[in-house]
Amino acid sequence: MGAESSPKIAIVDESPIRAAILEEGLREAGFTDVVHISEMQSLLSRIYALDPDVIVIDLENPSRDILEQMFQVSRAVRRPIAMFVDQSDAASIQASVDAGVSAYIVDGLKKERLKPILDLCISRFNAFARLQDELDRTKSALEDRKVIDRAKGILMKLKGLTEDEAYVLLRSTAMREKKKIGEIAQSILTASELLK
Amino acid sequence: MTKALHIGFIPLIDAAALIVAVEKGFAAAEGLDVTLTREVSWSNVRDKLNIGLFDAAHLLAPVAIASSLGLGHIKVPIIAPVNLGLNGNAITVSPALHAAIMAELDGDRFDPMATALALSRVVASRRKSAAEPLTFGMTFPFSTHNYQLRFWMAAGGVDPDEDIRLVVLPPLYMVDSIASGQIDGFCVGAPWNSIAVDRGVGQILHFVSDILVRAAEKVLAIRQGWSEKNPDLVAALVRVAFRAAEFIEQSENRIEVARILARREHVGVDVDVILRTLEGRLKISADGTIRESSRYLLVGREGAPRPDPTQAAWLYAQMVRWGQVAMSSEALATAKAVFRPDLYDAALGLRQEADRGAVHSIGAFAGPTFDPADVAGYLASVKGSRRVL
């Protein structure tokens, strides 16, 4: 690898969406040589065949332990690989573990060149986690809305309320019991199931 | 006042003492509010312990030593004030390799010297027919599994680097990998050997207790710096692990323990498989053959929880033997100091030597007797090694 050329980066991630987000970020930042590995079988031989300069892996991936093997001197290894560890840079390690990503650097690549790659991975991993959170919240909000609609229906039928009155009753009960409206609605559904 | 602690673990049976400590209230009784976090890799456990996301962790004993020596990763001194398990691993091979070894066997099939010599004959005949080398899985470069496989193979004259491919695989992937033929055998902890047997894709060739009578396996690992700032919490953790280990060893508690461990958030496998492990009654082949051992996994009995620096010295000697680190008396001293029987004795109030139940032995089936005071002499006389100078 020449000093000016883009280092070859392998992304080991079973999540295609996160890998795509990461890949896009890296390309935008000028790292054009990016390969995504999604299949964990024969991971090591895939990596040896690719011969990357940097390997990025998510921390939810059990295959991380497989990468640790590459530090060992073995006849199978062509180039020694080390995790990006710098005794003086605990903050980077903390940030990457918090974000859920880990980077391995292949001997020959200067640490200064890894730093921007790692920073980018951390920010993209965090962005993905936020997206995931939002998605989860949206999903549960949708779920809640369905449950609330059904609970309103039950109240309207049993107590002869209008939809607005049923909703006000749910909301005031939730406030009084310091619970979420969704929880009160769920307990109405459960109770009505029991009393059927 | 309760103190909140975060402890990481890998879903294996030898995390039992921590899981039971929380579920049966031993932790709460010491004023500890422990949150257990299940992890997917030893690298994650190590890193989260090292940077302080975990206060303590269920950790491979050699990883605690490697971390203290700065091997393979950032150097963070770790201490082990209590063991979570001795032994508990087994070597499982594919039915095809089992048949090949049995065909070459001259002696008892549970005699590791006989099987190691048979393995060397299998290796030689494969080489003659230009077959691919056999591949064995183990769980981590700095793992008891790695050293136990190497110890066994080398005793039979098999070079674990030249004659065999040793590959790291997460425990979770072992069974699928042997089923798909990617590997021919593996050494792993419970319950994965039993699961391979139940699925008909593996036969248990050896309990690790055939190879080593006493082998430190998992420890409760704590950062040394944290332990110095929190001596009372360390002592409380030792007592908690000790009491849970005693509870686990009572036969009347076994079913309850197995049910707790079987839960999804813990180990997440069948109660029956866990029971077999706890009882040391393992099905070793698909035809239902049962093999019993009183030494399969030691959690609370035979002084298992007390850390023994002799074990740390033995593990360090294996690191030197296989070229992971150069021999030095400073590094040996560092390795031994990871295991802290002094903290264990103090926490449990064991003032008399006789109360401590100290056992210093490895009990290897082959090679010179291990003397922690003469590791260099041991390494000079052991057969087969890949030392770096």
Identify all chain A residues contacting B170, using CB atoms and an 8 Å cutoff.
62-63, 65-66
How confident is residue A89, by pLDDT bands cut at 50, 70 and 90? Answer: low
So what CATH class is A9-133? alpha beta
How confident is residue A83, by pLDDT bands cut at 50, 70 and 90? Answer: low
Average pLDDT of span A181-189:
91
Nearest residue on chain A to B172, alpha-carbon basis: A62
Which is more confidently placed, B1 or A37?
Answer: A37
At B215, list the tokens.
């082998």
The verdict on a CB contact (< 8 Å) between B74 and A93 is yes
Q: Which residues of chain B have pLDDT under 70?
A: 358, 388-389
Name B341's Cβ contacts closer than 8 Å, sequence gap at least 6: B306, B307, B308, B309, B356, B358
State residue A134's pLDDT score. Answer: 87
> Is residue A108 over pLDDT 70?
no
- pLDDT above 90: percentage of residues in chain B: 91
The verdict on a CB contact (< 8 Å) between A90 and B51 is yes
At A145, list the tokens.
């809305």
State residue A195's pLDDT score. Answer: 82
State residue A74's pLDDT score. Answer: 47
The verdict on a CB contact (< 8 Å) between A41 and B324 is no
Cα–chain-centroid distance for residue A95? 14
Nearest residue on chain A to B52, alpha-carbon basis: A94
Q: What are the Cα distances from residue A186, in Å, to A150, A152, A154, A170?
A: 9, 11, 11, 11
State the nearest Cα–Cα gap between B170 and chain A, in angstroms: 6
Which residue type occupies A196?
K
How confident is residue A76, by pLDDT bands cut at 50, 70 and 90? Answer: very low
Identify all chain B residues contacting A66, using CB atoms and an 8 Å cutoff.
167-170
Secondary structure element (H or E) that encloses residue A106, with its range: strand A101-106
CATH number at residue B61: 3.40.190.10
How confident is residue A169, by pLDDT bands cut at 50, 70 and 90? Answer: very high
The verdict on a CB contact (< 8 Å) between B167 and A62 is no
State the nearest Cα–Cα gap between A71 and chain B, in angstroms: 6
> Is residue A4 over pLDDT 60?
no
The verdict on a CB contact (< 8 Å) between B140 and A74 is no
Nearest residue on chain A to B40, alpha-carbon basis: A62
Secondary structure element (H or E) that encloses residue B75, with its range: none
Query: In chain A, what are the domain boundaries?
Result: 9-133, 137-195
In a domain, B145, yes or no: no
The verdict on a CB contact (< 8 Å) between A66 and B170 is yes
Angle, alpha carbons B43-B47-B53 (nearest 5°):
135
State how far the Cα of B215 lies from the Cα of B89, in Å rounded to an integer: 10
At B239, list the tokens.
């007592």
State how far the Cα of B34 lies from the Cα of B42, in Å rounded to an integer: 20
Identify all chain A residues contacting B41, using CB atoms and an 8 Å cutoff.
59, 61-65
> Is residue A3 over pLDDT 50?
no
State residue A42's pLDDT score. Answer: 81
In a domain, B14, yes or no: yes
- Domain, as residue range, for B253: 3-88+217-264+324-361
At A142, list the tokens.
């949708």
> Is residue A77 over pLDDT 50?
no
Q: Could you tell me whether strands B56-60 and B3-9 are parallel, antiparallel, or unpaired per DSSP bridges?
A: parallel
Name B2's Cβ contacts closer than 8 Å, sequence gap at least 6: B28, B31, B32, B33
Q: List the single residue in B74, B139, B169 with the smallest CB-CB distance to A85.
A: B74
The verdict on a CB contact (< 8 Å) between A93 and B41 is no
State residue A135's pLDDT score. Answer: 85
Q: E strands of chain B, at which residues?
A: 3-9, 32-38, 56-60, 78-87, 89-93, 134-138, 164-168, 185-189, 203-207, 216-223, 281-283, 290-292, 297-298
Backbone angles phi, psi at B242, to 5 degrees: -65, -45
Residue B49 near residue B8, CB atoms below 8 Å = yes
The verdict on a CB contact (< 8 Å) between B167 and A102 is no
Question: Choosing among B54, B149, B164, B168, which should be mutated to test the A contact, i.e. which has the most A CBs within 10 A?
Answer: B168
The verdict on a CB contact (< 8 Å) between B47 and A102 is yes
The verdict on a CB contact (< 8 Å) between B169 and A66 is yes
State how far the Cα of A102 lies from the Cα of B161, in Å rounded to an integer: 28
Identify all chain B residues contacting A60, using CB atoms and an 8 Å cutoff.
40
Protein fold of A137-195:
Arc Repressor Mutant, subunit A (1.10.10)
The verdict on a CB contact (< 8 Å) between B47 and A87 is no
Nearest to B288 by CA among B227, B371, B198: B198
State how far the Cα of B305 lies from the Cα of B132, in Å rounded to an integer: 42
Burial label, B75 (beta-carbon count in 10 A; 0-12, 13-18, 19+): middle
The verdict on a CB contact (< 8 Å) between B141 and A72 is yes
State how far the Cα of A163 lies from the Cα of A28, in Å rounded to an integer: 51
Please write the tens of the pLDDT for every residue from B174-205.
999 999 999 999 999 999 999 999 999 999 99
Identify all chain B residues contacting A65, using CB atoms and an 8 Å cutoff.
41-43, 139-140, 168-170
State the nearest Cα–Cα gap between B126 and chain A, in angstroms: 19
In a domain, B351, yes or no: yes
* CB-CB neighbours of B117 under 10 Å: 20
State residue A92's pLDDT score. Answer: 77
Which residue type occupies A68?
E
Q: Which residue's structure tokens are 């890296």?
A: A26
State residue A81's pLDDT score. Answer: 53
Please write the tens of the pLDDT for every residue from A130-161.
888 888 888 888 888 999 999 999 999 999 99
The string of DSSP codes covering B117-176 is HHHHHHHHHHHHTTPPPEEEEES-TTSHHHHHHHHHHHHTT--TTTTEEEEE--HHHHHH
Q: List the single residue in B48, B141, B167 with the smallest CB-CB distance to A71.
A: B141
**Chains A, B: CB contacts under 8 A, how many?**
74
At A93, list the tokens.
């390690």
pTM of the model: 0.87
Residue B100, CB-side half-sphere exposure with 13 Å CA sphere = 17
State residue A86's pLDDT score. Answer: 55
The mean of the pLDDT values for chain B is 95
State residue A123's pLDDT score. Answer: 87
Identify all chain A residues contacting B73, using CB atoms and an 8 Å cutoff.
83, 85
The total domain count for chain B is 1
State how far the Cα of B179 lies from the Cα of B182, in Å rounded to an integer: 8
Question: Choosing among A57, A68, A93, which should be mutated to test the B contact, i.e. which has the most B CBs within 10 A?
Answer: A68
Q: List the single residue in B40, B75, B161 with the smallest CB-CB distance to A87.
A: B75
Q: Report which DSSP code applies to A7.
A: P
Q: List the single residue in B141, B165, B170 with the smallest CB-CB distance to A62.
A: B170
Return the exposure string of B10-30: e unless at least 16 CB atoms fall within 10 Å of the residue's CB, then b: bbbbbbbbbbbbbbbebbeeb
How confident is residue A112, by pLDDT bands cut at 50, 70 and 90? Answer: confident
The verdict on a CB contact (< 8 Å) between B74 and A94 is no
State residue B143's pLDDT score. Answer: 96
In a domain, B97, yes or no: no
Q: In chain A, what are the helix, strand and coil shares in percent, each to the nearest 5? A: 60, 10, 30
Nearest to A101 by CA among A85, A86, A116, A121: A121
State the nearest Cα–Cα gap between A104 and chain B, in angstroms: 11
Angle, alpha carbons A149-A150-A152 (nearest 5°):
65
